[in-house]
Amino acid sequence: MPESLDFSLGQVNVALTPIERFQEFLDSRGKRFTSQRRLLVETVFSRHEHFEADDLVEELAYRSEEPRVSRPTVYRTLSELVDAGLLRKISLPSGRLVYEHDYGYPQHDHLYCQKCRKLIEFQSDALIQLRAALAEQYQFQVTGHRLIVQGVCLDCRSHRRKRPVDLI
Amino acid sequence: MPESLDFSLGQVNVALTPIERFQEFLDSRGKRFTSQRRLLVETVFSRHEHFEADDLVEELAYRSEEPRVSRPTVYRTLSELVDAGLLRKISLPSGRLVYEHDYGYPQHDHLYCQKCRKLIEFQSDALIQLRAALAEQYQFQVTGHRLIVQGVCLDCRSHRRKRPVDLI
DNA sequence: ATGAGTGCAAAAAGTTTGCACCGCT
DNA sequence: AGCGGTGCAAACTTTTTGCACTCAT
């Protein structure tokens, strides 16, 4: 991953790469930084796209070189990455579960194109204010939120018949 | 279901109960209004709580009286009810998929208590405005949205130790 | 050395499908 | 009669678990 990224994250140590952050997390739990866990974190943070568990299994379980990461270990490790605050799990309107980077990545929400299934990220201060207002009104201790706005993206509205894609 | 409810829904015929609306939908597709489908809709609209597919299977597949509704038919019919616009399917942060009334029920979103798993409904005009702004900014044709704010509800913050509940 | 981690196979959980029989219309 | 619907069993998809062996520390 590009070292130009700024891992600003409040009071958390901001100098760490995701890999280092994961090591720290594992250490704090008496867990070990194995070659499988290393390969998995490196892979996950080598790009920024959203992905599902099975994508990783495909990529890591049958590769030619060692180490490989078996299906159960992929699932186990993804959970750890979520616990460690490195990844976030989101469920799409279709029911698909995908992961995305969370560590050192700004809070955001998504526009979901129901034609091409693309996810577009956006940030909104108004939403943060709304959260605060709700917390106040319902005396609710907010820990997070998930907003997905679905519809049809610009591309799919233009090339309507150019590249047919299947429905959700 | 209480006939005092107002089934206002834009240009759609607003005089219909959910059952009548479902009949209309089935009719328009050349499908039949069978005793299973009737029992299922009646059951679903006899109360307002959120529920999962399996709840219905438990309730309808093993009852003493006829008709019963088998597991596959419950799933098939729930899909039809979603298609008909009577139900909405939402996925909770935990990954659980639940259904809720959509027909004749105002647009709303949820606060989700991660302690007791309760869902609290709320409405927000600000959110509708935000949607419009996003549509404009991204030239995105919005068809819907789903916002879930998670945290801890008032009850769970007060009786913190009174009734222990398991984590998510 | 020793306890955590891994892969394998199997189990679970949730949902869908093929098919023969049933029953509206 | 004929087509849609249903139940049953089985298949499928996705995720989790038990267990013996392996490996990081």
Q: Is the pLDDT of residue A101 over 60?
A: yes
B90-148 pLDDT per residue, tens = 998 888 899 999 998 899 999 999 888 889 999 999 999 999 999 999 999 999 999 99
Question: Is the bond into B67 cis (omega within 30 degrees of 0)?
Answer: yes
CB contact under 8 A, B146 and A150: yes
- Of B95, B133, B48, B125, nearest in space to A146 by CA: B95
Cβ-count burial A52-75 (b if 16+ within 10 Å, e if not): ebeebbeebeeeeeeeebeeebbe
- Please check the confidence at residue B5 and state whether its pLDDT lies above 60: no
Q: Are A140 and B126 in contact (CB < 8 Å)?
A: no
For residue A129, what pLDDT is reported? Answer: 94
Question: Which nucleotide C1' is nearest A31 CA?
Answer: C4
Tens of pLDDT, residue by residue over B32-84, are: 999 999 999 999 999 999 999 999 999 999 988 889 999 999 999 999 999 99
pTM: 0.84
Of B22 and A5, more confident: B22
B149 and A131 in contact by Cβ < 8 A? yes
Closest to A36 (Cα-Cα) out of A77, A1, A85:
A77
In the structure, what pLDDT confidence band is assigned to residue A9 with cuts at 50, 70 and 90?
Answer: very low
Q: Which nucleotide is nearest to B31 (CA to C1')?
A: D4
Kindly tell me if the per-residue pLDDT of A159 is higher than 90.
no
Q: What are the pLDDT digits (tens) for A114-158?
A: 888 899 999 999 999 999 999 999 999 999 999 999 999 999 998
Query: What residue spans define the domains of chain B?
Result: 13-105, 106-168
Min Cα separation B59/chain A (Å)? 24
- In this complex, the answer to whether residue A84 has its CB under 7 A from any atom of chain C, a nucleic strand, is no
CA–CA gap between residue A144 and residue B99 (Å, rounded): 22
Could you give the 3-state DSSP secondary structure of residue B101? strand
B13-105: CATH topology: Arc Repressor Mutant, subunit A (1.10.10)
CATH topology (fold) of B106-168: Dna Ligase; domain 1 (3.30.1490)
**When comparing pLDDT for A15 and B48, which is higher?**
B48
Closest-CA residue of B relative to A98 is B95
Strand C-contacting residues in A 41-80, CB cut-off 7 angstroms: 67-73, 76-77
Six token digits for residue B64: 């003493």
